[in-house]
Amino acid sequence: MKKFNENFMIGAATAAHQVEGNNKNSDFWVLENIPGSMYKEPSLDAVDHYNRYREDIKLLKNAGLNAYRFSIEWARIEPLKGRFDKNEIEHYRDVLKFCHANGVTPIVTLHHFSSPKWLIQEGGWESETTVEYFGNYCKNVVSELGNLIPYICTINEANMGIQIARIMKEYQAKMLKAAEAKSANGDVQVGINVSGQSTMEKYYRAAGEAFGVEPRNIHTFHEPRTKNGDLIIMRSHIKAREVIKEVNSDIKVGLTMSLYDYQALPGGEGYIQALWDEDFLHYLPYIKEDDFLGVQNYTRKVFGPNGKIEPDENTKMTEAGNEYYPLSLAGVLRFVSKYWNKPIIVTENGISTSNDKDRVEFIKETMKGLYECLEEGINVLGYMHWSLIDNFEWQLGYKPKFGLIAVDRTTQRRIPKESLTVLGDIKKYGF
C-alpha cells in the first residue's frame, strides 16, 4: 500500500465567478449579458457557492480531503475604483475561518480570470495602471485577511493570454472549415469559443458599448495577449508579491501556470522547446523570488517533424476536446522540476466528462503518477483537483462537467459523485 504523507495536501479547487453567482460588477458579467454574447448562457446564480460554501466545504472535508483552493473576487471587494466593500471582506473572512475550523488548508487565488468592470474601462490587462490597481487590491485583502491565509496564488494561469494568442493565430492560419465552432477547442485549457470574423466583430461592438470604450481597447484577462501585456501580468504579480510580503511575510506566495505535457517524436524537439520557452521558461526571471509554483495541467500534446500530431480516431478524448492522458501531470512535473527547485502545488488537474467512471480512473492513474514524482524527490506540496463542483465553464456555460460534486441547478441540491469518495480515500488510505 502506497500512501501520501499526512501533511500532503489533497483537495479540490473552484473559482469565484464560476461558482458564487451574481458577480454583477465583473467584466464577465458584462460579456455574458450583451447582445450576441459569445457565452452559451449567462452565469446568473451559478451554483450559489456564495451562500452554500459551508455545505460544499463540509462535503470536501467529510470525503477525507484536507485543502481547498478558491478565489477571492476582486469585483466584489472593489466594485468601484478605490471603494472597498467591508461586507465582502467579512464574507471571505467567514469562508477562511470555516476552512480552518474544519481542518481544511485554504489556498487563496487573488485573481482567477474575472476582473472588475471598471478595470477594463481603465485599460484592463494591457494598461500600465493595472499594476498599481492590482497591488492596491491585494494590499487591502491581505491587510484584512492575511493572518488566515497560508498560501496565495496571485494570478491564475498567468500565461493564459499568450496561449490564447497562439491558438487564435493558428486558427486563423488554418482557415478551419467551421466558421462557427460548435465545441470546446482542446488546444487551450479553458472554456472558450472560436468564431468567425463577422460574429466576433458584432460581439466586440456590443462589448465596446457595454464597457463604454472602443472595442479595440477591451483587454480582459482572456484576450489574446501582446508581449507588453505579458510583461504587465508579470509586473502585477511582482507588485502583489511585494505588498503581500510587506504586510505578512509568513504568507507563501506564488502564481499558477497552464502547462501541457509537450512530447516530441523524432524531429519534433524544436517545436516543444519553443513552446516550453513561451509557456514557462521565459517567466522564470519574474518568479524566482516566489515561494512556490502552481502547476495546472489537463493533457499532453505530441509533435513530430511537421508540427503537432493530432490524435487519431481511436484516441480517447474528454468532452472538452482534450486527449485523455492521465500521465500528463507527471510529465509536466518532471519537466518543471528541472528548472524550478522550490515547492510546487498542483493547483488544477482534472477531466471534463459526464461519465464519472472515467473521472475515477483518471484520478487513480494521475495520483499514481504523482506519487512516483514524489518518490523521485520532486518537491510537490499538494494536489487540487479541478473542480470541486460542476460549475460555469466560461464561454461554454454549464454543459462541461469537471466536478467531484454534481448540482441540480433547479434546486441547487448537491450530489456527491463517486470520484469525490475515491479522491478522499486515496488521501486517507493510499492506493
Handedness of CA 273, 329, 352, 401 (dihedral sign): negative
Report the chain's mean pLDDT, rounded to a whole number: 94
pLDDT, tens only, 22-32: 999 999 999 99
Residue 181 has pLDDT above 70, yes or no: no
Q: Which residue segment(s) compose the domain that 373 sits in?
A: 9-171+186-191+219-429
In a domain, 206, yes or no: no
In a domain, 124, yes or no: yes
Question: How far apart, in Å, are the Cα atoms of 4 and each of 135, 213, 293, 425, 429?
Answer: 37, 51, 20, 11, 9
In a domain, 213, yes or no: no
Residue 168 binned pLDDT confidence (cut-offs 50, 70, 90)? confident
pLDDT, tens only, 190-225: 666 656 667 778 898 999 999 999 999 999 999 999
* Cell numbers for 191: 472554456
In a domain, 116, yes or no: yes
Question: How far apart, in Å, are the Cα atoms of 282 and each of 47, 58, 268, 272?
Answer: 37, 40, 20, 14
In a domain, 411, yes or no: yes
Residue 67 has pLDDT above 70, yes or no: yes
Nearest to 232 by CA among 245, 214, 219, 243: 219
Residue 89 has pLDDT above 70, yes or no: yes
pLDDT, tens only, 370-422: 999 999 999 999 999 999 999 999 999 999 999 999 999 999 999 999 999 99
- Name the pairing type of β-strands 307-308 and 300-304: antiparallel
Amino acid (one-letter) located at 296: Q
Question: What per-residue confidence (pLDDT) applies to 185?
Answer: 54
CATH number, position 423 = 3.20.20.80
Residue 248 has pLDDT above 90, yes or no: yes
Structural domain total, the chain? 1
| Strand partners for 106 | 68
Among 73, 157, 319, 348, the active-site one is: 157
Question: How far apart, in Å, are the Cα atoms of 360 and each of 145, 288, 317, 365, 429?
Answer: 36, 36, 15, 9, 16
Question: What per-residue confidence (pLDDT) applies to 275?
Answer: 98
Average pLDDT value for residue range 97-118: 98
Q: Please name the residue ranges forming H helices in 102-151.
A: 117-121, 129-145
In a domain, 196, yes or no: no
In a domain, 203, yes or no: no
pLDDT, tens only, 124-157: 999 999 999 999 999 999 999 999 999 999 999 9
Handedness of CA 90, 94, 96, 101 (dihedral sign): positive
Residue 126 appears among annotated catalytic residues: no
* Cell numbers for 363: 484520478
pTM of the model: 0.95
Question: What per-residue confidence (pLDDT) applies to 251?
Answer: 98
Residue 268 has pLDDT above 80, yes or no: yes
Residue 182 has pLDDT above 70, yes or no: no
